[in-house]
Amino acid sequence: MSDSGAGLISRYQARLALPTSVKPISLQEGSTPLVCLNSLCDPERGIVVYGKVEGANPTGSFKDRGMTVAITMAAHEGSEAVICASTGNTSAAAAAYAARAGMKAFVVIPDGKIALGKLAQAMMHGARVIQIAGNFDEGMQIVKAMPDEAPVTLVNSVNPYRLQGQKTAAFEIVDSLGRAPDYHFLPVGNAGNISAYWLGYSEYHQTGDLDKLPIMVGCQAAGAAPFVHGKIVADPETVATAIRIGNPQSWDLAQAARSESGGWFVAHEDQLILDAQQYLAQREGIFCEPASAVSVAALISALRESAIPDQSVVVCTLTGHGLKDPDTAISQSPEPLRVAPTLGAVRDAILR
């Protein structure tokens, strides 16, 4: 299973239950780094923390795992066009994999609330970008109905092939650690990913490849926390635009992941999320996007509250690359120093 040069479908074919005749549409996604987050480990208490760096995927987020399978199957079934609603990353992945498959992509995005890098990707890969004067949840309702109106295949995570692809991240973690973590922290928006991880861990457990299942901790932004409130949020708002979602489609699956694993949902304020993003960038050298940092914000809080027992192994999924959202990064950083182009001026800037 460790042929890391190949894409997910060829690496995990037997676990994906796809027809043997499929021709994979792949960008060699997956096989992402599982990096020890040294500054969050606590050797005295025997706590070890890893980040699963999903920003290392071809389009810079975990969405590539689901999209390779969804687009492969759409092509296999003869579809010529795909559609999704997206807070950004799904549209980037759909656009890229559709381009590779020679298919058209239509992406429905919320007005003005999509990070610049993601918009650039969708546009550059030639997707038809349809911006609605509404939010992700409204876009989702529209695209779900679209296959009845136009010849398009829906590739949001309500498409079951998406979760099939995304469950491979759990396989990779177990393959690499030789076990599951005790705790798995990950951001939750539309809730496909937490459902997919739980599916992956559970399948490995059923086949005897895993003894002990992890406790799943679903992390949300305070202004977009339907799972913490136990109900739909009508007007979700957060700086972490990727998870600015109030009506998650995989509600029941995510609730099952929480209850079957003995886990919990938690939400944090935007400032804490940005602090965690900066912490990871400056202490660990890993630049993830704000939505990804919510998992680290939640872990830092849990460690402070001593909610993580001694001898625990913890994984945080870092779902997307920081370069996706340059505006948010720059707006929380100091301005560059502006100096004359001389040795003296640059030396003074260094010694200042």
Q: Which amino acid is at 3?
A: D
Instruction: Tell the smallest beta-carbon distance from residue 1 to ligand AN7 (Å).
Output: 24
- Work out how close the CB of 206 gets to ligand AN7 at its nearest, in angstroms, rounded to a whole number: 23
How far is residue 124's CA from residue 283's CA, in Å, rounded to a whole number? 33
Which of residues 254 and 300 has its CB atom nearest to ligand AN7 in the complex? 254
Q: Do the beta carbons of residue 243 and residue 62 sit within 8 Å?
A: no
Judged by beta carbon, residue 48 or residue 50, the one nearer ligand AN7 is 50
Residue 217: strand, helix, or coil: strand
Q: Are 82 and 95 in contact (CB under 8 A)?
A: no
Q: How far is the CB of 29 from ligand AN7 (least distance, A)?
A: 15
* Complex with ligand AN7: residue 26 or 238, whichever CB lies closer: 238
| Residue 322 DSSP symbol | G
Q: Closer to ligand AN7 at the Cβ: 47 or 139?
A: 139
User: Whole-number minimum distance, CB 318 to ligand AN7, in Å?
Assistant: 9
Alpha carbon 217 to its chain's center = 14
**Which residue number, 42 or 327, has a Cβ lying nearer to ligand AN7?**
327
C-beta of 11 vs 63, nearer to ligand AN7: 63
Q: What angle do CA 152, 158, 159 make, to 5 degrees?
A: 55
Residues that bind ligand AN7 (CB under 6 A): 61, 63, 86-90, 157, 187-193, 242-243, 289, 291-292, 319-320
In angstroms, give the least distance from the CB of 335 to ligand AN7. Answer: 27
Instruction: Say which amino acid occupies 119.
Output: L
CB of 106 to ligand AN7, least distance (A): 14
Q: How far is the CB of 309 from ligand AN7 (least distance, A)?
A: 26
Helices 270-279 and 290-304: crossing angle, nearest 10°? Answer: 90
Pick 216 or 302: Cβ nearer ligand AN7: 216
3-state secondary structure 252-320: HHHHHHHHHHCCEEEEECHHHHHHHHHHHHHHHCCCECHHHHHHHHHHHHHHHCCCCCCCCEEEEEECE
Q: Please, what is the minimum distance in Å from the beta carbon of residue 33 to ligand AN7? A: 16
Q: Answer yes or no: are the C-beta atoms of 113 and 239 closer than 8 Å.
A: no
What SS3 state is found at 154? Answer: strand
Identity of the residue, 210 or 294, whose beta carbon is nearer to ligand AN7 in the bound complex = 294
Nearest CB to ligand AN7, comparing residues 47 and 227: 227
Least gap, CB of 285 to ligand AN7 (angstroms): 19
d(CA 8, CA 73) in angstroms, rounded, equals 14
Q: CB nearer to ligand AN7: give 47 or 329.
A: 329
- Nearest 5 degrees, angle CA 234-CA 221-CA 241? 75
As a whole number of angstroms, the distance between CA 218 and CA 134 comes to 26
Which single residue is written with the structure tokens 């997956």? 30
- Least distance between ligand AN7 and beta carbon 340 (Å): 41
**Closest to 294 measured CA to CA, from 259, 256, 266:** 266
Q: Quick one: residue 292, left, alpha or beta (phi over 0 = left, psi -120 to 50 = alpha)?
A: alpha
